[in-house]
Amino acid sequence: MAYSGAKYISKVMNRSGYVVELPNVDDVKNLIGTYPPDPYAESSTQLFPLGTRIIQGEREWRYCENASIALNIAAPLQGAARAHAEQDDDIVCGAAAAAGTDEVSVTSTANLDASPNNTADTFKEGYLIVNDAAGEGQMYKIRTAPALSGTDTSVFKLYDKLTIALTTSSQLGLIQNPYKNVIATAAPLTGKFAGIPLLAITADYFFWSQTKGPAPIVAKEVIALGTPVVVGVTAAKANEHNPSSTGEVIIGESLTPGVTDGESCIVDLW
């Protein structure tokens, strides 16, 4: 592995006009599976690290992996929902870990032993946080992640080394990579907003999701020109911002009006 502590590698694709920002998780030659990147294509094989960002002018995309349900063109997306609330915080650290090590012991529970957590590498390229007690406040990208099983303790390997020691009193939280196993937005959201696909996406395929700049989006209702656009009110569709609404997340501003339920408009994603 070429990983040396830097977080991203930037490469300008001059002929295609794209700037590509790659998570520094391997040698550059192993990270780019195709050239140039194509935000209007999907693939059954992974061609870039998840979360890779491409920029062209005022628009940006992130490289995603779809979950097991096909996605519609222009339908807003979110990251994977957690398997159980225990996943967020207060997971038991199964063994002490000295500062300078890149391994952390994670103790499963019956609630954590659920799909997809009970599959190896679900949390690979995701993040581990120390949310309480010794070492609190540290967060690291996960290099390898065994399956969570029963009440077993398994060792997660990190890309960076701990700067503060952990004890068996330390409490942990886990998330998948925000761009892994993405789904259409729920109401309310059960994961981070993850952009908008520019084509229909096959189940379990890889693709680019637009996260910034002018993008198409399917509306649920009339959305006035120039008003904030939100998700989290209607599954897989956009709504106009309503100050009295609960659960909505503002994602941008309308550049063309939403006319009626099921029609698409243009949103300037923030």
- Pairing verdict, β 127-132 and 139-144: antiparallel
- The two tokens of residue 146 are 């065994």
pLDDT at 30 (0 to 100) = 79
pLDDT at 2 (0 to 100) = 43
Which of the 8 DSSP states describes residue 9?
E
Peptide linkage before 188 cis (omega within 30 of 0): yes
Q: What is the DSSP string of 197-219?
A: ESS-B-TT-EEEEEEEEEEEEEB
Left if phi > 0, otherwise alpha if psi is -120 to 50, otherwise beta: which for 72? beta
* Global pTM value: 0.91
- One of 3.30.70, 2.130.10, 3.40.50, 2.40.10 is the CATH number of 85-175, namely 2.40.10
- The two tokens of residue 199 are 């084509």
Q: Give the residues across from 175 on adjacent strands.
A: 127
Query: What is the per-residue burial (b if ≥16 Cβ within 10 Å, else e) of 17-34?
Result: ebbbbbbbbeeeeebbee
Nearest to 182 by CA among 43, 66, 104: 66
**How far apart are alpha carbons 111 and 174 in whole angstroms?**
14
Q: How far is CA 18 from the centre of its chain?
A: 21
The SS3 assignment for 260 reads: coil
pLDDT at 1 (0 to 100) = 37
Peptide linkage before 146 cis (omega within 30 of 0): no
pLDDT at 140 (0 to 100) = 97
The SS3 assignment for 97 reads: strand
Parse the chain into domains and list their residue ranges.
Answer: 8-79+182-269, 85-175
pLDDT at 24 (0 to 100) = 80
Q: What share of the chain is helix, strand, coil (3-state, %, to 5)?
A: 5, 40, 60
pLDDT at 8 (0 to 100) = 59
Residue type, 84: H
Residue 154: partners with Cβ closer than 8 Å, 6 or more residues away:
94, 105, 106, 108, 146, 147, 148
**Please, are residues 94 and 112 in contact by the beta-carbon 8 Å criterion?**
no
Q: Tens of pLDDT along the chain (270 residues)?
A: 344 555 656 555 556 688 899 888 887 777 888 888 999 999 999 999 999 999 999 999 999 999 999 999 999 999 999 999 999 998 999 999 999 999 999 999 999 999 999 999 999 999 999 999 999 999 999 999 999 999 999 999 999 999 999 999 999 999 999 999 999 999 999 999 999 999 999 999 999 999 999 999 999 999 999 999 999 999 999 999 998 888 899 999 999 999 999 999 999 999
Which of the 8 DSSP states describes residue 238?
B
User: Is residue 143 classed exposed, middle or buried when 0-12, 13-18 and 19+ CB atoms within 10 A define those classes?
Assistant: middle
